[in-house]
A and B are shown apart, each in its own frame.
Chain A
Amino acid sequence: DQQVKQNSPSLSVQEGRISILNCDYTNSMFDYFLWYKKYPAEGPTFLISISSIKDKNEDGRFTVFLNKSAKHLSLHIVPSQPGDSAVYFCAPGSSNTGKLIFGQGTTLQVKP
């Protein structure tokens, strides 16, 4: 039972353009939604989060959008930079347990 799905295993964009990463979830009990970035041989690092009471959160070049009715969230990176190349994980969770459920990840490549 896969509660969190990132249907695009990979994404390639040109430097300066927008990157859009998508995530779908099934569990209505999630009340926090996080995005993590991961480089090879390192642990995941937190990027941005949004609570279920909001539909948008912005932090510099990164914006997360939440559509609760569709159980869908997305991460927008604009402008994309080569240093953004990494694996991105969507990770919804519950504020009760703090436990996060991770998607399979999307590998983003930003070409110079």
Chain B
Amino acid sequence: DTGVSQDPRHKITKRGQNVTFRCDPISEHNRLYWYRQTLGQGPEFLTYFQNEAQLEKSRLLSDRFSAERPKGSFSTLEIQRTEQGDSAMYLCASSLMNGQGYTGELFFGEGSRLTVL
């Protein structure tokens, strides 16, 4: 399977614990995006990378959230001192931005569901 993969698919944690999610994008894709989706809402943009550079962060991304893409391939999203309000589906997406045949499509993974007790 050469699509976007996310790990773990499900995470249950206690309030105050740290959690980390990993995303492996489609191999040739240079852009990587993190979104968060809560029940009944559409995905909300969190941050994105072009190669290893983090180019934009949403104001939704509080100081407890940090994302990295150290070698321009996989990415991690860490949440420190989790709160119940962090419970959501965390979605990763990737795309190839090379100016050719652009359709706007982001390729999404299946998501990592976080439950904070």
Contacts and interface: CB of A to CB of B under 8 A. Distances in A.
Interface of A: 4, 6, 32-34, 36, 41-46, 49, 51, 89, 91, 93, 95, 97-105
22 contacts: A32-B102, A34-B105, A36-B108, A41-B110, A42-B111, A43-B91, A43-B111, A45-B108, A49-B104, A49-B105, A95-B104, A97-B48, A97-B56, A98-B48, A98-B97, A98-B106, A99-B45, A100-B45, A100-B104, A100-B106, A102-B43, A104-B41
Nearest to A103: B42
B88 to A, nearest CB: 14
Interface in B97-117: 97, 102-111
B72 to A, nearest CB: 15
The 6 A-B pairs at the shortest CB distance, nearest first, are namely A102-B42, A32-B104, A43-B108, A46-B105, A102-B43, A43-B110
A95 to B, nearest CB: 6
A43 B3 CA distance: 11
A89 B108 contact: no
Contacts of A102: 35, 42-44
Interface of B: 4, 31, 33, 35, 40-45, 48, 55-56, 91, 93, 95, 97, 102-111
In this complex, the member of A34, A49, A51, A102 whose beta carbon has the largest number of chain B beta carbons within 10 angstroms is A102
Given A43-B4, A104-B40, A98 B95 contact: yes
B100 to A, nearest CB: 12
B1 to A, nearest CB: 13
A4 to B, nearest CB: 8
A98 B104 contact: yes
Nearest to B33: A99
Contacts of A6: 42
Contacts of B40: 104-105
Contacts of A42: 110-111
B43 A46 contact: no
Nearest to B3: A43
